Chain A
Amino acid sequence: MFEEYKHSDPNLSIFYPECNGILTYSEAIRLAIGRRMLLDNSVLVYGLGVDDPKAMYGTTTNFHKHFGSSRCFDTPLSEDTMTGFGIGLAISGYKPIHVHQRTDFLLLCANQLINMAAKMRYLSNGKLNCPLIVRAITGRSWGQGSQHSQSFHSMFANIPGLTVMVPATPLEAFNTYHHALQEDSPTIVIEHRMLYSTKSNVFVQKKKPSLSKISLGKDITICSVSHMTVEAQRSVEFLNQHGISADHFSLVNVSNIDLDTILASVMKTKHFLFIDHGWLNCSIGHTIISNLYGSGYGGKHSILGYQNTPCPTAKSLENYFYPDSQLIAEVILKMIGSSVIVEIPASKEITSFKGPF
């Protein structure tokens, strides 16, 4: 399907002429946004550094050259006002994409996002649309520490009127932007720094990603968020060697949970593990587990996420802050009562990352 739209739109050759449908997470984001910018003049990208040489980890490379400085532009360090700026554009018929190098900076925009964007359509009784897209990148490792590592998907998903998307794969990232840029309401997309070099086949899907199936199995149902999907799948692939398999889902749309699919799986496996890329108190994981039991599920469950602390800078401490493939595998084995011994090396994208950002 990737080839289909490539052929139907020769302008796409300016992006990835040789990709054959296999793209990195970064390339998939650039393609999805660039393609919509080609097709829809109302789409524009702005934010601190979007037109600089690093171009948001390559996701906006040369957009300012392709589309001009009125459709891809740098801004003052005024996150609050620049969010309101995007709302003003959005209610005027534009589809602005506001990019933040770290998700932590969304807190500077919280008033505009929660008090203004989320309510624009509702308070106007449908007379105003607000198709503002907010891109935010969560960091990890090489001392990102407590203020460059946070992911607020559960917090923002608590707000009616905001759609929060947390794509984990290039396919999910591509289709998140492909569909969000054709909607009329605000969307926050939380990307992850450690995912930009991951690769997958990319094609247009008919629907916006909600819950992606990563693997099929019989022993346990796993639902994971963002980079934890990579960690969890590494555990699953190790356990496959020992005859243990899992239904593994990547949770992409945090605001509108596909509970039916998860429920059908857990009724089959009788074991449910949720792995969040965030703190667990008042979290989406607990909401899903609560809803599963409320819908008739009676099996086992477990939940993993950040330690209930700010993220420390020291590597020795940070290693304990996040769940990793080893811990995930151990929890799975304990849940299903297996005595298999596991030893999974730390993830390469983590160990090889030398920063600086």
Chain B
Amino acid sequence: MQIEFMPWTTILKKCCQIRSFENIIQELYHTDIIQSPVHLSVGQELSSVLASYFSNEDDHFIGNYRSHALAISVADDIDALILELLGKQKGVFGGRSGSMHLGDPDHNLPWTSAIVASGIPMSTGIAASIKFNNHSQLVTVMFGDGAFEEGCTSESLNFAQLAELPIVFILEDNGLAIHSLKKDRTSVIDYTKKASSFNIKTFKSSYLDPQDMFSKFESAYSYCRSNIKPVFVVAESGRWLEHVGVGTDWDLGYRQQTSNEVWENCDIINNPEIVGLTSQQSNILMNQYTSLYRDKFLRLKFFQDADPSTISNYV
């Protein structure tokens, strides 16, 4: 990890990469270029980017089915990710995983699970292997607020602290599980209090204050790395789009479009001034990456499809 003098330049660039990538998917999805469900991260890029930013080259990651942001954050080879989404032979997993399982094993991000919270227990095993070998890496595991209702999340928090495992648990709290509001799903008011009950060090942050979010992530990673103990970070956020698919879902009536304005206003791509940058910088980056990724998607769609003769390989 190398902390830069002007970290937000790097962070904004990465966020723009992800937003542009997702915007192109929104633009092209109706052409059936991607023939699978997609769970987009529009408006929720920052937590993945910060996780990547505060991680070292050899650290590990566990993501989830809303997979694109983390994969783009850690990957060097964006073409391999696009080819995977397109079901092509040269995709990062030969087309076997697709959008819901996107990963980058070359950067210690295994394929992600489409079963809520299922990746979280794996993080404890990876962290234990690090500890057994006296290595200095850590594991970042990212999940949503719905995952906190799964039993394995509590089990993993308990075991991580019990075994003193170097894991950064990041809960992206957008208050929604598909169309179910948090108030209808849980009696937990403050996730950090529940994590604290396992004696885990916790950090509370929000997209409403990106500068504070940066500080909280920085502190969390520093604590985990220097104490070789788990930390639990909440990143309060908003989901701008529908749960699965490329559109908005205001028409369904279960939430109001006006509720999203607060998140759009504090978004560092919409308002880079919040973090000391300019709209011009943001616009240039968005235009640059949008053009780049449109060209890539339209070029890579002509690559070789996954080979049917290999269907039984690696069972």
Residues of B within 8 A of A80 (CB): 121, 151-152, 155
Summarize A's interface: helix, strand, loop or mixed: helix
Residues of B within 8 A of A122 (CB): 96, 314-315
Residue B124 at the A interface, CB < 8 A? yes
Asked if residues A111 and B118 are in contact (CB atoms below 8 Å), the reply is yes
Bound CA span A123–B114, Å: 12
Asked if residues A93 and B129 are in contact (CB atoms below 8 Å), the reply is yes
Residues of A within 8 A of B111 (CB): 120, 123-124, 128
Residue B105 at the A interface, CB < 8 A? yes
Asked if residues B128 and A89 are in contact (CB atoms below 8 Å), the reply is yes
Asked if residues B125 and A92 are in contact (CB atoms below 8 Å), the reply is yes
Give the B interface residue count (CB, 8 A). Answer: 35
The 0/1 profile, CB within 8 Å of A marked 1, for residues 106-132 of chain B is 000011010100111111111111101
Those of A65-81 within 8 Å (CB) of chain B: 70, 75-76, 78, 80-81
- Interchain nearest-CB distance for A107 vs B (Å): 13
| Segment from B5-13, B36-44, B156-164 that makes contact with A | B156-164
Most buried by A among B119, B124, B127: B124
Give the A interface residue count (CB, 8 A). Answer: 35
Q: Determine the residue in chain A with the shortest Cβ distance to B306.
A: A125
Residue A82 at the B interface, CB < 8 A? yes
Those of B54-86 within 8 Å (CB) of chain A: none
- Interchain nearest-CB distance for A82 vs B (Å): 7
Q: Determine the residue in chain A with the shortest Cβ distance to B106.
A: A127
Asked if residues A125 and B121 are in contact (CB atoms below 8 Å), the reply is no
Bound CA span A27–B313, Å: 36
Asked if residues B105 and A127 are in contact (CB atoms below 8 Å), the reply is yes
Residues of B within 8 A of A70 (CB): 132
- Interchain nearest-CB distance for A254 vs B (Å): 15
Q: Determine the residue in chain B with the shortest Cβ distance to A162.
A: B315
Residues of B within 8 A of A78 (CB): 152, 155, 158-159
Bound CA span A161–B312, Å: 10
Residue A170 at the B interface, CB < 8 A? no
Q: Determine the residue in chain B with the shortest Cβ distance to A92.
A: B129
Asked if residues B155 and A88 are in contact (CB atoms below 8 Å), the reply is no
Residues of B within 8 A of A140 (CB): none
Residue B93 at the A interface, CB < 8 A? yes
Residues of A within 8 A of B119 (CB): 84, 116
Summarize B's interface: helix, strand, loop or mixed: helix
Asked if residues A82 and B121 are in contact (CB atoms below 8 Å), the reply is yes
Asked if residues A87 and B96 are in contact (CB atoms below 8 Å), the reply is no
Residue A56 at the B interface, CB < 8 A? no
The 0/1 profile, CB within 8 Å of B marked 1, for residues 128-151 of chain A is 100000000000000000000000
Q: Determine the residue in chain B with the shortest Cβ distance to A127.
A: B105
Asked if residues A81 and B159 are in contact (CB atoms below 8 Å), the reply is yes
Residues of A within 8 A of B315 (CB): 121-122, 160-161
Asked if residues B115 and A91 are in contact (CB atoms below 8 Å), the reply is no
Residue A197 at the B interface, CB < 8 A? no
Asked if residues A85 and B118 are in contact (CB atoms below 8 Å), the reply is no
Residue A112 at the B interface, CB < 8 A? yes
- Interchain nearest-CB distance for A116 vs B (Å): 6
Most buried by B among A76, A112, A125: A125
Bound CA span A84–B125, Å: 7
Residue B14 at the A interface, CB < 8 A? no
Residues of B within 8 A of A125 (CB): 93-94, 96-97, 313-314
Bound CA span A127–B103, Å: 11
The 0/1 profile, CB within 8 Å of A marked 1, for residues 145-188 of chain B is 00000011001101100100000000000000000000000000
Given A80-B155, A124-B96, 18 extra CB contacts under 8 A = A70-B132, A78-B158, A81-B121, A81-B152, A81-B156, A81-B159, A84-B152, A85-B159, A87-B122, A87-B125, A88-B123, A89-B129, A91-B122, A94-B132, A123-B97, A124-B93, A125-B313, A128-B105
B residues at A contact (CB < 8 Å)? 93-94, 96-97, 101, 103, 105, 110-111, 113, 115, 118-130, 132, 151-152, 155-156, 158-159, 162, 313-315
What are 17 A-B interface contacts by the 8 Å CB criterion?
Answer: A76-B162, A78-B158, A80-B151, A81-B152, A81-B156, A82-B155, A84-B122, A87-B125, A88-B123, A88-B125, A88-B126, A91-B122, A92-B125, A92-B130, A94-B125, A124-B110, A126-B314
